[in-house]
Every structure is written in C-alpha cells, then in structure tokens.
C-alpha cells in the first residue's frame, strides 16, 4: 500500500468527522509520510508499519469524541463517544460498555447535583427576600400536587373554605363544625368510639389532626406552613448536598477521563512506534 492509497483509505474511514477535523488529521499523516521518506523509508514500508488505516481511524475518532465530550457533556456527545469506543473491537467493547455506563451514571448524578444546588440557591434567595423585605409573602404560593391545573397556586387567591357534605347522621353519629374568633375552623366527627378531629388555622394551615378508633390513636400537630427560616435551612441543605455531589462527580469524571485518554493514547503511540 502506497502513500496515496493509505491516505485515501484513512480519509474514507474518517467520514464521520467534520471536513475540518478530517483534513487536519490527513495533513498530519501526510507530513508523517514525508518525514519518514526523507529518512530513507519507502511509502510501502511506512504504510505497512502504520497498519490498517481503518483501525487507525477508529482510534483517532475515539480520541476526538472523547475531547468533544470533555468540552461539552451532552447526551449527543456521550452517544458519539459510546459508538466510537464500541467500534474499536470486541475486547475494547467488553471494556467500554461498563465504563461508558459508569460515565452515563455520572452525567445523571451531575444533573441531579446541579438541580439540587440550583433549588437551594432559589430557596436561600426567597428566604432572604422574605426576611428583609417581606416579599414574596410567606405561604402565599403553594404547590399543586393534584396533577390538574397549574403547578403553583396563589394561595391568597385560591384559598377557599372547603364544602362539607354530611351523610348518614344517626343517633350515635355526630358532626360539629366550629369557627374560631381568629378565623380558624375545627371539624369534629364521631361514630361510637371512633372520632375524627381537624383543626385548621386562619392562614389555611392544618394545626392538628386527631383520629381515634377505640384504644388506637393517631395525632399530628404543628403542621403549619414553613416560613423563611425553614426555607433557609432547606435551601442550605440542598445547596450543600448539590455542591458536594457536583464536586464528587467532577473528581470522578476527571479520573475516569484521564484513564480513558491514557488508554487510547497508548494504543496510538504503539501504532506510531511500529512505523518509527
């Protein structure tokens, strides 16, 4: 195989790269041929020592894909890296599949860490604004978990007293609704030895929930809405967890990518040493 045939085969095998990347690689290997021939080697000898141009192209593509993913860790670049590494052969594929799965897990964890850190920053900003300026008002906005309608509801507009429908009232069944002077509501219901009690504050928060069935009792209290201090604590915790997760992922990414780059570099150095 002469110089032109080798470079043409290498160019065809590098078709998945951009024209700029392909021309850069071809220019490097054309210069490599020129230097070797200046030292007295023939085109055939250099091409033989470089080996299969298709295999060489796979190694070069894998290095390029790795560099692209290091620059921008997107799903597209990760998939391109997976395809390029899998094309190296069966032994490399057996090694690459668990490694690339590991990289995919790290990518997901990085996104999770970033989301936690961002949520923490938002909560800290909200808590600081509430504490200094009283805006946004505490408990004004609540999350709608019903799956119907908007995700965030303005509680000051949408807070209504729920309708009450009583059925089956009998001799041993009693229901009582009391409105307190502070605007709160207490609902009590009983049937024999079964009782239910719900205390709702004027701000719409559930103050106490008590359920009894004979000797069994469930009581929940102090269920009020969270305030600026709670937002600040939760925000600080989320920011700390997210930052720690991002730091760990960054450290693991660095070690993993250094190992993969070293692995690919050793293969390229081995190929080039044969042609030296």
Q: Any bridge partners for residue 142, and if so which?
A: 153
Q: 3-class DSSP state for residue 272?
A: helix
Element (H, E) at 271: helix 228-275
Give the pLDDT band of residue 256 (cuts 50, 70, 90): confident
Sign of the Cα pseudo-torsion (61, 64, 68, 69, in order): positive
The CA distance from 246 to 242, in Å, is 6
Q: Convert the pLDDT of each residue in 6-46 to its tens digit.
A: 999 999 999 999 999 999 999 999 999 999 999 989 999 99
pLDDT of residue 204: 62
User: How is the chain split into domains, by residue range?
Assistant: 3-111+248-275, 170-225
pLDDT of residue 145: 44
Mean pLDDT calculated for residue range 135-152: 53
The CA distance from 49 to 44, in Å, is 9
pLDDT of residue 126: 87
Show Cβ contacts of residue 208 under 8 Å, excluding neighbours closer than 6 positions. 197, 198, 199, 219, 220, 221, 222, 223
The CA distance from 21 to 138, in Å, is 56
Show Cβ contacts of residue 76 under 8 Å, excluding neighbours closer than 6 positions. none
Q: 3-class DSSP state for residue 235?
A: helix
CB atoms within 10 A of CB 139: 16
The CA distance from 22 to 14, in Å, is 6
The CA distance from 257 to 263, in Å, is 10
pLDDT of residue 161: 44
**Residue environment code for 102-135, b if the CB has 16+ CB neighbours within 10 A, otherwise e:** ebeebbebbeebeebbebbeebbebbeebeeeee
pLDDT of residue 226: 61
Nearest to 254 by CA among 246, 266, 242: 246
The CA distance from 239 to 120, in Å, is 4
Q: Convert the pLDDT of each residue in 45-90 to its tens digit.
A: 999 988 899 989 988 998 888 888 778 877 788 778 777 777 776 4
In the predicted model, is pLDDT for residue 235 greater than 60? yes
Sign of the Cα pseudo-torsion (264, 87, 257, 77, in order): positive
> In Å, how far are 145, 147, 153, 226 from 150, measured between CA atoms?
9, 8, 7, 21
Q: Would you say the pTM of this structure is higher than 0.95?
A: no
Residue 181 — φ and ψ, nearest 5°? Answer: -65, -25
């Amino acid at each position: 195989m002469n110089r032109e045939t080798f470079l043409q085969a290498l160019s065809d095998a590098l078709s998945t790269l951009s024209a700029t990347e392909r021309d850069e690689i071809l220019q490097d290997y054309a210069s490599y041929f020129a230097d070797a021939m200046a030292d007295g080697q023939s085109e055939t000898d250099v091409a033989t020592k470089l080996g299969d141009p298709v295999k060489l192209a796979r190694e070069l593509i894998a290095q390029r894909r790795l560099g692209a993913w290091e620059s921008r860790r997107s799903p597209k670049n990760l998939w391109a890296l997976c395809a390029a590494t899998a094309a190296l052969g069966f032994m490399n594929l057996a090694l690459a599949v668990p490694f690339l799965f590991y990289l995919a897990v790290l990518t997901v964890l990085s996104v999770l860490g970033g989301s936690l850190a961002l949520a923490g920053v938002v909560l800290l900003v909200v808590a600081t604004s509430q504490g200094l300026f009283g805006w946004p008002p505490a408990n004004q906005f609540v999350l709608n978990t019903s799956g119907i309608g908007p995700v965030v509801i303005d509680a000051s507009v949408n807070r209504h007293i729920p309708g009450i429908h009583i059925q089956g009232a009998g001799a041993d069944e009693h229901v009582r609704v009391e409105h307190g002077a502070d605007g709160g509501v207490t609902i009590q219901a009983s049937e024999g030895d079964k009782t239910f009690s719900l205390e709702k504050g004027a701000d719409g928060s559930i103050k106490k929930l008590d359920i009894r069935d004979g000797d069994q009792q469930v009581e929940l209290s102090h269920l009020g809405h969270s305030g600026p201090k709670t937002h600040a604590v939760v925000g600080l915790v989320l920011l700390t967890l997210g930052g720690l997760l991002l730091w760990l992922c960054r450290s693991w990414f660095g070690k993993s990518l250094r190992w993969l780059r070293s692995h690919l570099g050793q293969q390229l150095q081995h190929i080039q040493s044969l042609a030296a």
